Amino acid sequence: MSGKTASLNQKSVWASGASLPRFPRLEEDKKTDVLIMGGGMCGILCAYFLRREGVDCVLVEGGEIAGGITKNTTAKITSLHGLIYADLTRKFGREKAKMYLDANQSALEEYARLCEGIECGFERKSAYTYSLTDRAKIEAEVEAANALGFGAELVGELPLAFETVGAVRFPNQAQFDPLRFIAGICQNLNIYEHTFIHGVAPHAAMTADCRISADKIIVATHFPFINKHGSYFMKLYQQRSYVAAFENAPDLDGMYVDEADKGMSFRNCGNLLIIGGGSRRTGGKCGAWSDILGFAKKYYPNAAPKFFWAAQDCISLDKVPYIGRYSKSTPDLYVATGFNKWGMTSSMAAARILTDMVLNRDNEYAEVFSPQRSMLTPQLFANIAESAVNLLTPTAKRCPHMGCALKWNKAEHTWDCPCHGSRFEADGVLIDNPATGNAEL
């Protein structure tokens, strides 16, 4: 960022207006039926639903609730996840593609019910995935979604400042303020902040000071950090993208995302236009906020940037989240990860599935999200190759997670791991997992 932009608000619009309750640090051994690790949207929703079912559960967060990935979302609640339904139908068949669609639509409606009693800016909006060059992809997605029973629409004209070849529209989706929502549902939950888990054993987790015993454990830490089971270090990589909110910009009356990985996304929040872009693998090179500022200057010349932030997302091998048992050999350990840039809807779907699993109830959507599905995809070999290159890169600055070479992020002044996405301050202090400790720099 330039000196001019560095003086502006380098935090999300949600964090700028948030007033979340604070919770104590756990300082003594504890026993509970269910331990939830991770105080983002997914973990808090798990705690909320389990508490509603009368389950004794404890949530622990290494920092402060919603202080990691959740505060940096663009907060779209939608089952339109780029262009996915034609691909899912081809890979997994119509039945599982419909499971995915229905799980996310169900999550959307659950948010709608919960938000009725919470002032969190919940608004129904249409969601659009557009293309700059490939109308055939858009047409195929509309056809696939309609074949699954959803009333998707093919749209030719969009209120964007640049030309597209068309878009798929999902009506009656939603957007909200995630931190105001969390403030509304977390008041009576059994939460401990600044309680960092360093290790996990069967039916137990350890902090620096105490041991938490639990019949069942849910890992909702964004990127799972337990390497012994599940092979998540091969099944996931992390992607970083950049976001800015602008004043004096138009109301686009909807949520928009480019089907191309390098494209821009849009939504409004009050009188602000939120633009996201600059996606790249964590640790890779990109233009960061400069790409968004250049885009805004070209297409919205009167717009003035007010907030800047960055988001980080776990990308699965096949673009479907991993929700369920952590591994085949860990029957009482569960996971939710790999939300692929759609963390709000996926968090709700995961919380509903995991609540049922913990209570030994069947869930009609669980099968499509099973972490035990096949790993044999081209992305697996790309992940392995990336790790191999960075493991062999000669440098003294290594990630404590698995020893990969760290890369300097000039835009954010951090050390980032291109293998698995851990991030560290300039002095080595841990920012993002899966690393569980600071880097020695």
Question: With contact defined as beta carbons under 8 Å apart, do 213 and 248 qualify?
Answer: no
Q: Determine the pLDDT at residue 9.
A: 59
Q: Determine the pLDDT at residue 286.
A: 77
DSSP assignment, residue 211? E
Assigned token pair, 18? 């948030």
Candidates 403, 429, 386, 430; CA nearest to 284 is 386
The model scores a pTM over 0.75 = yes
pLDDT in tens, 163-207: 999 999 999 999 999 999 999 999 899 999 999 999 999 999 999
Q: 124: Cβ–Cβ under 8 A, 6 or more apart, which residues?
A: 172, 173, 174
Number of neighbours of residue 205 by Cβ within 10 angstroms: 23
Q: Determine the pLDDT at residue 2.
A: 43
Q: Determine the pLDDT at residue 4.
A: 44
Tell me if residue 101 falls in helix, strand or coil: helix
Sorted by where each starts, the structural domains of the chain and their CATH numbers stand as 378-432 (2.102.10.10)
Kind and range of the H or E run holding 352: helix 343-358
Kind and range of the H or E run holding 179: helix 178-185
Using CA atoms, how far apart are residues 67 and 190, in angstroms rounded to an integer? 17
Q: Determine the pLDDT at residue 139.
A: 98
Query: Rounded to the nearest 5 degrees, what angle is found at the Cα of 150, between the Cα atoms of 349 and 279?
Result: 60
Q: 318: Cβ–Cβ under 8 A, 6 or more apart, which residues?
A: 91, 373, 377, 379
- pLDDT-flagged residues of the chain (< 70): 1-9
Q: Determine the pLDDT at residue 24.
A: 97
Candidates 34, 401, 385; CA nearest to 213 is 34
For the chain, the straight-line distance linking the first and the last C-alpha, in angstroms and rounded, comes to 24
- Beta bridge partners of residue 191, listed in sequence order: 59
Q: Determine the pLDDT at residue 441.
A: 85
Helix then strand then coil, % of the chain, to nearest 5: 30, 25, 45
Q: Determine the pLDDT at residue 18.
A: 78
Q: Determine the pLDDT at residue 288.
A: 85
Q: Determine the pLDDT at residue 392.
A: 85
CA dihedral 215, 328, 87, 317 (to 10 degrees): 90
Q: Which residues of 335-348 are buried (b: 16+ CB within 10 A; e: fewer)?
A: bbbbbbbbbbbbbb
Tell me if residue 333 falls in helix, strand or coil: strand
Q: 410: Cβ–Cβ under 8 A, 6 or more apart, which residues?
A: none
Question: With contact defined as beta carbons under 8 Å apart, do 348 and 80 qualify?
Answer: no
Q: Which residues of 289-319 are buried (b: 16+ CB within 10 A; e: fewer)?
A: bebbbebbeeebeebebbbbbbbbbbbbbbb
